[in-house]
Amino acid sequence: MNFTFPIDALQQHQTPFYYYDMELLNATLNSINNEAGNYGFKVHYAVKANANDRILSTIKEAGFGADCVSGNEVKKALETGFDAQGVVFAGVGKADWEINLGLENDIACFNVESIPELEVINELAEKKGKIARVALRINPNVNANTHHYITTGLEENKFGINQWDLENVIKALATLKNVELEGLHFHIGSQITDLLSFKELCLRVNEIQKWFISQQILPKVINVGGGLGIDYEQPDEGSIPDFKSFFKIFDEFLELQPEQEVHFELGRSVVAQCGALLTRVLYVKNGVNTKFAIVDAGMSDLLRPALYQAYHKIENLVSAKETEKYDVVGPICESSDCFGKAIDLPQTGRGDLIAIRSTGAYGEIMANRYNLRELPLAYYSDEV
Ligand code: LLP
């Protein structure tokens, strides 16, 4: 199943905009449901990757839960119709109003990242006469071998509770009457392409589980987070990530106790390949060693290249001329406003329609109004 561009229809719209292939999204969701279903695994969609209304409701319809990292994400998930029992709330810095919102809506679980947070949740739950279900986010100290900005599971990162602090957490839990331990939560990072990192995570989870069991604690849920990477280089060859191999690793290496549930929080792998940022060339300008294709999308529309030096495949959808090298840059007053250097494109001219691929995840949602630019619009394959 490949991403397709209805070029004539897309030419009717003013650029820049995001374009979503809903068939590819649905095929991806089916693949996840089939592969995770084989093992009875439960998948929560990481709303942070893309909270566009159409995308979110399609994912809800496919039966996923929602992994939220802010009060507004919790609100959005509930408004979209996700069942509160499928909503989990993570994040190192939950504000009181956000915790209260979760409590009032009886969400499934708070993923807790520190003892002070556990105490605050307990206090707020007590005020409401409720018991909050919590999972402990444990820092497994596993290296995800990914960009350092999106590595989260190392002791030096701000995320999670370190293993040497677990005894104190257990002591705290014994005294806090308005929180109930539901599970253990892990997440080692994002855009992980070496599946061995997930095997390492499983082995670490087994060790940590053993320790909990030795303390007479049996967590009901093991949440192993998200992080499965996608093929940015070849979006068409890898349009649906290899969910089969991914889930198989957890089936093979996690040592589960009877009745235990395994939960996942997938973001990028669900939505990245179904989105593209469409932009037009405004000018082609000769530089000293290079040609610049100056396009009408900028880092305000797609931040990933500027923020993480991320690679996205760039295609000229309308030219079939001979290939030349271009630096594809945006109009924003920053040198980092560059989508790719020395990119091979068929000879490109003013007005050509350009696609920046694999931008369904962390694209539209990270857009901002720098330089007072408008936020990008979105169109969908079943509506163009
Ligand atoms: N669970 C937790 C606790 C997370 O922190 C994240 C992502 C996920 C799940 C989902 O991970 P995914 O399946 O999408 O890899 N803006 C960056 C990515 C930041 C990821 C943050 N956490 C980017 O554009 O690459």
Q: Where are the alpha helices (DSSP H) in 153-294?
A: 166-175, 196-214, 243-253, 268-271
Task: Please tell me whether residue 333 adopts helix, strand or coil conformation.
Answer: coil
Rounded to two decimals, what is the model's pTM?
A: 0.96
C-beta 200 within 6 A of ligand 1? no
Q: Domain spans of the chain?
A: 22-271, 273-380
Instruction: Specify the ligand 1 atom closest to the Cα of 267.
Output: 14
Class (C level, CATH) for 22-271: alpha beta
DSSP H/E element including 36: helix 22-37
* Predicted pLDDT at 359: 98
Query: Ligand 1: distance of its center to the CA of 128 in Å?
Result: 32
* Predicted pLDDT at 224: 98
* Predicted pLDDT at 351: 98
Q: Identify which of 48, 59, 263 to mutate to test ligand 1's pocket (most ligand atoms within 8 A of the CB).
A: 48
Could you list the pLDDT tens digit for every one of the 384 residues in the chain?
Answer: 889 999 999 999 999 999 999 999 999 999 999 999 999 999 999 999 999 999 999 999 999 999 999 999 999 999 999 999 999 999 999 999 999 999 999 999 999 999 999 999 999 999 999 999 999 999 988 877 666 665 665 566 678 898 889 999 999 999 999 999 999 999 999 999 999 999 999 999 999 999 999 999 999 999 999 999 999 999 999 899 999 999 999 999 999 999 999 999 999 999 999 999 999 999 999 988 889 999 999 999 999 999 999 999 999 999 999 999 999 999 999 999 999 999 999 999 999 999 999 999 999 999 999 999 999 999 999 998
The CATH number of 273-380, from 1.10.10.10, 2.40.37.10, 3.40.50.720, 1.20.140.10, is 2.40.37.10
- Nearest residue by C-alpha to atom 24 in ligand 1: 362
* Predicted pLDDT at 148: 63
C-beta 190 within 6 A of ligand 1? yes
What is the spatial distance between Cα 137 and Cα 153, in angstroms, rounded to a whole number?
A: 10
C-beta 359 within 6 A of ligand 1? no
C-beta 46 within 6 A of ligand 1? yes
Strands 179-185 and 221-223: parallel
C-beta 317 within 6 A of ligand 1? no
C-beta 330 within 6 A of ligand 1? no
**Positive or negative, the Cα torsion across 357, 359, 363, 365?**
positive
Strand ranges for the chain from DSSP E: 17-20, 42-46, 65-68, 87-89, 109-112, 132-137, 179-185, 221-223, 261-266, 275-286, 291-295, 314-316, 323-329, 338-346, 353-356, 377-380
Q: Classify residue 318 as exposed, middle or buried by CB count within 10 Å of its CB (0-12, 13-18, 19+).
A: middle
Query: Ligand 1: distance of its center to the CA of 266 in Å?
Result: 8
